Amino acid sequence: MGGNIGNEHHPLAAATSGACATIASDALMNPFDVIKQRMQIHGSVYRSIAQCTRTVYKNEGMTAFYVSYPTTLCMTVPFTALQFTAYESLSKIINPTKGYDPITHCTSGALAGAFAAGLTTPLDVIKTLLQTRGTARDAEIRSAKGIVRAASIIKRQYGYAGFFRGLRPRIITTMPSTAICWSSYEMAKAYFIRHQND
């Protein structure tokens, strides 16, 4: 795959690295994402993280915290792979010398995040439906158990446009996050490279 060997472009290595990182991260973070979604929805009855966790566990069991994990992976693995690949590609175009350049890293990070967020929004919509199904009034949504079922509900109720609900806010909120993430990463990398032999 290439990785850090030579100066060649290695999009497969970047995509694979991102995918592996997100699989591990999502296994730990998915329950917290479910709690966050439950607390954020309009009319949420939860007043604390502990109350939300206890109530979801009591009413829906442990599986409620992971019912969206396959969908989360279906979204975050492509998101991260696309983001890493886009970042590496954009950085190579904008900054072919690969020198530390905060503006390049910030710009490439923001654009890579926007690209990945835009392409994976339909999967995020499906994930959100699954994570918030326990609070839905609609019996069909409450009984949704997987990606295909959730997707069919969204298509039937909202049409294909339903898969892109929240597209602009998703892109707008992702861009600063990925810009900061990549800028911080490149700053730390430059620091450690500079001080490697000290």
How confident is the model over 136-184, as pLDDT tens digits? 888 898 888 888 999 999 999 999 999 999 999 999 999 999 999 999 9
Prediction pTM value: 0.76
Residue 1 CB neighbours (<10 A): 11
pLDDT given at position 63 = 92
Beta-carbon contacts of 138 under 8 Å, excluding residues fewer than 6 positions away, are: none
43 phi and psi, to 5 degrees? 80, 15
CA 116 – CA 191 distance, rounded (Å): 28
d(CA 71, CA 77): 10
**What are the pLDDT digits (tens) for 44-67?**
899 999 999 999 999 999 999 998
Instruction: Give pLDDT, residue 197.
Output: 65
CA-CA distances (angstroms) from residue 4 to 15, 88, 102, 105, 113? 13, 12, 20, 18, 22
User: Tokens representing 17?
Assistant: 């690295």
pLDDT at position 12 over 90: no
Nearest to 69 by CA among 39, 38, 25: 25
